[in-house]
Amino acid sequence: MFHREAVPEYGILLIIDVQNDFCEGGSIARKGGRKIVPIINDLMKQDRIHLVVATQDWHPKNHISFASSHMDGERVGTEPLQGEIAPFKRALVRSPNTVSYAPGTGKVDKMLWPDHCVAGSIGSGFYYQQSGDLWLDYKNIDLIYRKGTDSELDAYDVLWDEIGRPSALHFLFESMIRNMDNDLAFYIVGIATDGCVAYTADRLVQLISSVKEQHEPKVCMERGCFGDPKASLDKKVTVKVVSNACVGTSEEEHQNALERLKTTSIEVVEHIIPFPHNCGRAAELRKDGLTEAEITYIIEEGK
């Protein structure tokens, strides 16, 4: 799949953080995480998708975003937090990395979370249900990008890190926007709509406009680009957030984020799976409270 294709529009599916810790049963579970899995699995198989990229939050054990990293003072260069600090709260924490924060204080104002997505743990894996009948179809993923791997930095968008350094995905997408002849469509799905999904959609729009503004032959040659420098000038590059393949920190936050995205150049779309299954098994599964997307997945995969 990972090659240029002679299609008018080249579709890139960007799956954000569909990991066990962000789904039901995980340490920062978002309600509804598992419901989007069959919809994403179906999207991966669509003809209009030519490249599937999936991201994973992937932290070392003492990551700066973990509340636990700041409680006992064991973390190098860190003072223990005073008093009670529950996860999901903002706090000023010491960090050796003060490049872009509160200069001179040595402290960073951070959102703190329960431990999550520790590199290589079950929680960091792509979603799978312990009973074994539903999982993210990782075999259809072309490229995995792991973020938040630096113990001192968090990563809410997948194109730049917290101190403004471009990521590997940034360079990949920049090169595709600059050099491919096709129109491009980015489809963004995953967790959480009001977090990494929205940040990434906003940042993609930023990347697209910066590439288009800089797209002059001189700049192109300086950067070592040997494609037709005018090739992408008139190219259409769209960013779409697939609303029913995302979940937010809450339903309200999900809706608020979508409403805000609709006021930008980002398109909010839905992916509708046809539901042809009216067999007895489907009826049984409906009685068990499964969604139509889950029923379709289970029956079509012969589970």
Site residues, Zn ion (CB under 5 A): 57, 148
Closer to Zn ion by Cβ: residue 57 or 174 = 57
Instruction: Please report how close the Cβ of residue 192 comes to Zn ion at its closest, in angstroms.
Output: 11
Instruction: Please report how close the Cβ of residue 27 comes to Zn ion at its closest, in angstroms.
Output: 10
Closer to Zn ion by Cβ: residue 123 or 148 = 148
Chain centroid to Cα 254, Å, comes to: 14
Instruction: Please report how close the Cβ of residue 108 comes to Zn ion at its closest, in angstroms.
Output: 15
C-alpha neighbours within 13 Å on the C-beta side of residue 251:
2
Instruction: Please report how close the Cβ of residue 71 comes to Zn ion at its closest, in angstroms.
Output: 17
Closer to Zn ion by Cβ: residue 67 or 201 = 67
Query: Residue 242 has which token pair?
Result: 């697939």
CA distance 303 to 300: 8
CA distance 12 to 188: 8
Q: Which positions are annotated as active-site residues?
A: 17, 147, 196
CA distance 154 to 148: 5
Closer to Zn ion by Cβ: residue 57 or 157 = 57
Instruction: Please report how close the Cβ of residue 116 comes to Zn ion at its closest, in angstroms.
Output: 6
Query: Residue 128 has which token pair?
Result: 């799978």
Tokens 């599916």, residue located? 13
Closer to Zn ion by Cβ: residue 11 or 195 = 195
Residue 265's nearest CA partner among 189, 207, 179 is 207
| 50 contacts 192 by C-beta, under 8 angstroms | no
Closest-by-Cβ residue to Zn ion is 57
CA distance 267 to 263: 9
- Secondary element (H or E) of residue 169: helix 168-179
